[in-house]
Amino acid sequence: MFERVLVANRGEIALRIIRACRELGVESIAVYSEADVDSMHVQLADQAVCIGRGPSKESYLKIDRIIAACEITGAQAIHPGYGFLSENARFAEICTSSGIKFIGPSAKVISMMGDKATARANATANGVPITPGSDIIIDADEALAKAREIGFPVMIKATAGGGGRGMRPCFRAEDFHALFVAASNEAMACFGNGECYLEKLVLNPHHIEFQIIADTHGNFLHLGERDCSMQRRNQKIIEECPSPLMTPALRKRMGEASVNLIQAIGYENAGTIEYLVDAAGENFYFMEMNTRIQVEHPVTEEVMGCELIKEQIRIAAGMPLSEHVLNAQPRGHSIECRINAEDPYNNFTPSPGKIDLWYAPGGKGVRVDTHVYSGYTVPPYYDSMIAKLIVTAATREIAIARMKRALSEFMIRGIKTTIPFQLEILNHPDFVSGDYDIGWVGRYLEEKEKA
């Protein structure tokens, strides 16, 4: 096991990783920007190194400073969390050549699967169905021609994109050019790569993803699915495990496809394969693979009774998956709400600022993953997620009641949050019946606007 691990991230996930390290008896090194000096992850790590100014590209994206921080603290491994450098093959490569273990798959696999366009090619090659689409197209006119071929509506997707960024749905040919440029520019700004490809837009599908994990002892498995269809502008706001749409037969087909794929590409560590599933729950299409831990990993942890971050660290240290993971059986139902510092009644405008009162819910089956505390100031430089509220219960019905109870207990004063909006969704008959797709939030907001 490593003596010391550096956490190349911030916020709730950095704290999550530090907690896992502490329980494993591993020293944690936090890196932080000047804007994060008061963040809880900095306070609770065993050591902390300032790596730059607030903006991400001056701190959390500075590969050389992160590697240097490992050198001066003697960290043997880096956990990259999610976002930032977690799917950056070059970073993984530099870690390896610097003698530092990157906690995740190899740079080669990251390149292969992290690049959305080549990932689709790999899926097809291994018998995993994909939606009709294209390879990377640089020229906007050429892309438009291909879009006509595929048939509108199409989704313009940045190959380096993630978290809903660098994506633009296009319903009409007239709008294509502008949307193509917009998607490319956004991806360039967020990920440093503006290349785009096209995918047929499957209308009203469910977003169902499979958690996979593989060690270096020949174990490749999946740990079930998560339904992440509740999205606003392709950013997830509520996730649940298991999916209300899932049947044992569909789970078997999707699970087998997922395990075959990771085995074929020689995957190591944790990852998630995202699929679109049609409304009838009959056909599934490979969308992309995230070669890292996901934001919503807790719902899988709760239902499958495992600790994914610890398993990630163990795998990287050369240990096999824990027995309880290899024999994991699902139990109960878990729902997660991403609490964002945004005003849901003002077009979700970001709401940074000082939180002068913070009271998080508790009680049976309530888990809050957060770096925030009373008196904390939400900085303006990073994404707006300030906490994850996860509830677990014996049945989906009880989980919904529990989530409503927990959301209504949550007191966050000083900023606006998405909590009241998430309560609206939890109370809606469509959520209760499980009858929602990735277009649901968009349609719901449109209808409210008209009213």
Q: What is the largest CA-CA distance in the chain?
A: 60
The pairs formed by 94-97 with CB atoms below 8 angstroms and a separation of 24 or more are 94/63, 94/67, 95/67
- Is residue 176 within 8 A of residue 170, CB to CB? The reply is yes
Q: How many C-beta atoms surround the C-beta of residue 108 within 10 A?
A: 13
* C-alpha closest to that of 14 among 42, 50, 46, 49: 42
Please give the structure tokens belonging to residue 446: 């449109």
CA atoms of 11 and 25, how far apart (whole Å): 21
HSE of 425, CA atoms in CB hemisphere, 13 A: 29
8-37 CB burial, b ≥16 within 10 A, e <16: bbbbbbbbbbbbbbeebebbbbbbbbebbe
CA atoms of 8 and 14, how far apart (whole Å): 8
The residues annotated with a catalytic role in the active site are: 292
Nearer to other proteins, 72 or 189 (CB): 72
CA atoms of 276 and 203, how far apart (whole Å): 10
Sheet holding 366-370, edge to edge: 284-290, 269-277, 206-214, 220-232, 235-241, 333-340, 385-393, 366-370
Parallel, antiparallel, or unpaired for β 154-158 and 196-200?
antiparallel
* C-alpha closest to that of 9 among 24, 39, 438: 39
Q: How many C-beta atoms surround the C-beta of residue 154 within 10 A?
A: 28
DSSP state of 381: S
Rounded (10°) CA dihedral 257, 259, 260, 265: 130
The distance of closest approach from Cβ of residue 63 to other proteins in the complex, given in angstroms and rounded to an integer, is: 9
Q: How many C-beta atoms surround the C-beta of residue 282 within 10 A?
A: 11
* C-alpha closest to that of 240 among 442, 400, 419: 400
CA atoms of 300 and 330, how far apart (whole Å): 9
Region of 364 (left: φ > 0; alpha: ψ -120 to 50; beta: rest) is beta
Nearer to other proteins, 68 or 181 (CB): 68
